Amino acid sequence: MKASTIAYLLAPLGAMASPCKHRPSSSTAVVPSAPASASVSASASASASATAVPTPSDVPATTTAATSAAPSATPSKAPAGSGIDALFKAKGKQYFGTSADSGSLSISQLEKLVESDFGELTPENSMKWDAIEPRQGQFSFTGSDALVKYAQEHDKIVRGHTLLWYQQLPQWVQSITDKDELTKVIQNHISKVVGRYKGQVKAWDVVNEIFNEDGTLRDMVFTQVLGEDFVRIAFEAARAADPEAKLYINEYHLESASGTKVTGLNNYVKKWLAAGIPIDGIGLQGHLGGSNPSAAEMQAGMELLSKSGVTELAITELDILNAPVDEYVKVFEACLAIEMCVGITTWGVSDANSWLPNDNPLLFDHQYQEKPAYKAVVELLSK
Ligand code: XIL
């Protein structure tokens, strides 16, 4: 992993993340599709912190204190059965995971926690379109290869994130206006990326954040040029490239039983499944707290979605403002209660590396120590 890690860390920051923080729902309603800067600032405008620099996991190691630690040569293995992943599996779930990439995995304290508590990895940024195909036809798999290699060497499942998203989407894609051209570009991107990791990525977030808060489809290059047909094009391309991988729609603000977004998405999924589009699962991102939903209705929301016709649900990007104990426990209880819920992924390991640097939303604190919510989840799963 080391040589490729270094190469990844040296990648130009411009090719990396654009901040996107889901706060007041009004800011995430209708977002103009192009140019990229417009869509980013529209979704970010509600929050001053959304204009912040990339999160620590995107920053070269030398620029943050936290990342200056040497990579751990010999990751310590926690005793089997002690971490959350093992406890969750003992309850019948497939995994408990986290987002990560080479940058965060090179922090030895963080990597030890990945070893002890997490059984699944989602690339935080390295599989996004701007990282993999920044220029048309020029693919760069350095970061994603490193993540997948780490996962294989450490016996972790990988969820692929994400094939089609209006953010972290290169300008050359956003500029396309021709139907046939955009169709071919989507098909080529998806078949190259999914094909490369065939048999190695368990599930893909094929489309990400394609809905408005009112349950209609987002105004972005994909809908402008192709209408809703981009969904069929994307899912069919992914299915063709890896027939075994589970294919997901991933979305935020689904943690409600009656909201316009969850009901709108539910109706679209039913319609698309009836039309033969190969959708296997729905991912609830689970960015909770503050002006986002609380965990109160998460189980009811999952109940509703479990009847849409998909075979899997997953909580894909969990983080909760200030990590309240009862909220974290509710999320785990919801996944335990819904048989179709296969696993939970937190969006990061420790508050030191969260994409929401001021929210302290994760299970481990800035010093990589267990927080009360961590202990409460372990207690719940140990019952
Ligand atoms: C975030 C990453 O964590 C940041 O490093 C990056 O700057 C912006 O994207 N929803 C998603 C994720 O689907 O891909 C986002 O990840 C967080 C919101």
Is residue 270, in this structure, part of any structural domain at all?
A: yes
Compute the distance between CA of residue 66 and CA of residue 25 in angstroms, rounded to an integer: 32
Is residue 17, in this structure, part of any structural domain at all?
A: no
Is residue 47, in this structure, part of any structural domain at all?
A: yes
CB 349 within 8 A of CB 114: yes
Compute the distance between CA of residue 204 and CA of residue 321 in angstroms, rounded to an integer: 26
Compute the distance between CA of residue 311 and CA of residue 296 in angstroms, rounded to an integer: 23
Compute the distance between CA of residue 308 and CA of residue 269 in angstroms, rounded to an integer: 7
DSSP string for residues in 25-47: GGGGSS---SSHHHHHHHHHTT-
| 248 SS3 class | strand
Q: Which of 55, 111, 58 is nearest to 359 (CA)?
A: 55
Q: In whole angstroms, how far apart are CA 310 and each of 92, 98, 254, 272? A: 19, 23, 15, 11
Q: What's the one-letter identity of residue 256?
A: S
Is residue 24, in this structure, part of any structural domain at all?
A: no
Q: What CATH number corresponds to the domain at position 6?
A: 3.20.20.80
| 240 SS3 class | helix
* Structural domain that includes position 289: 2-11+31-64+78-382
Is residue 129, in this structure, part of any structural domain at all?
A: yes
- Both tokens assigned to 89: 């599996």
Is residue 22, in this structure, part of any structural domain at all?
A: no
Q: What's the one-letter identity of residue 264?
A: G
Residue 276 Cα to ligand 1 midpoint, Å, equals: 30
Give residues (CB < 6 A) around ligand 1: 17, 19-20, 54-55, 57-58, 124-125, 208, 285, 317, 355
| Percent of residues in the chain assigned helix, strand, coil, to nearest 5 | 45, 15, 40
Compute the distance between CA of residue 48 and CA of residue 34 in angstroms, rounded to an integer: 22
Compute the distance between CA of residue 30 and CA of residue 166 in angstroms, rounded to an integer: 12
| pLDDT value for 82 | 74
Examine residue 123 and say whether the peptide bond preceding it is cis (omega within 30 degrees of 0): no
Question: What atom of ligand 1 comes closest to residue 99's alpha carbon?
Answer: 3
Helices (H), 197-322: 221-226, 229-241, 260-274, 298-305
Catalytic residue list: 209, 317
Compute the distance between CA of residue 53 and CA of residue 35 in angstroms, rounded to an integer: 19
Question: What atom of ligand 1 comes closest to residue 252's alpha carbon?
Answer: 10
Question: What atom of ligand 1 comes closest to residue 17's alpha carbon?
Answer: 7
Residue 274 Cα to ligand 1 midpoint, Å, equals: 31
| pLDDT value for 176 | 98
Domains identified in the chain, total number: 1
CB 5 within 8 A of CB 106: yes
Is residue 25, in this structure, part of any structural domain at all?
A: no
Atom 3 of ligand 1, nearest CA residue: 355
Q: Which of 202, 137, 140, 146 is nearest to 1 (CA)?
A: 146
Spell out the per-residue pLDDT of the chain, length 383, in tens: 333 333 323 333 223 333 344 443 333 322 222 222 222 222 332 232 322 223 333 332 222 323 333 333 333 444 545 799 999 999 999 999 999 999 999 999 999 999 999 999 999 999 999 999 999 999 999 999 999 999 999 999 999 999 999 999 999 999 999 999 999 999 999 999 999 999 999 999 999 999 999 999 999 999 999 999 999 999 999 999 999 999 999 999 999 999 999 999 999 999 999 999 999 999 999 999 999 999 999 999 999 999 999 999 999 999 999 999 999 999 999 999 999 999 999 999 999 999 999 999 999 999 999 999 999 999 999 99
Is residue 26, in this structure, part of any structural domain at all?
A: no
- Strands (DSSP E) along 101-153, which ranges? 120-123
Compute the distance between CA of residue 295 and CA of residue 325 in angstroms, rounded to an integer: 11
Q: Is the dihedral of CA 146, 147, 153, 157 positive or negative?
A: negative
| pLDDT value for 81 | 53
Compute the distance between CA of residue 49 and CA of residue 279 in angstroms, rounded to an integer: 35
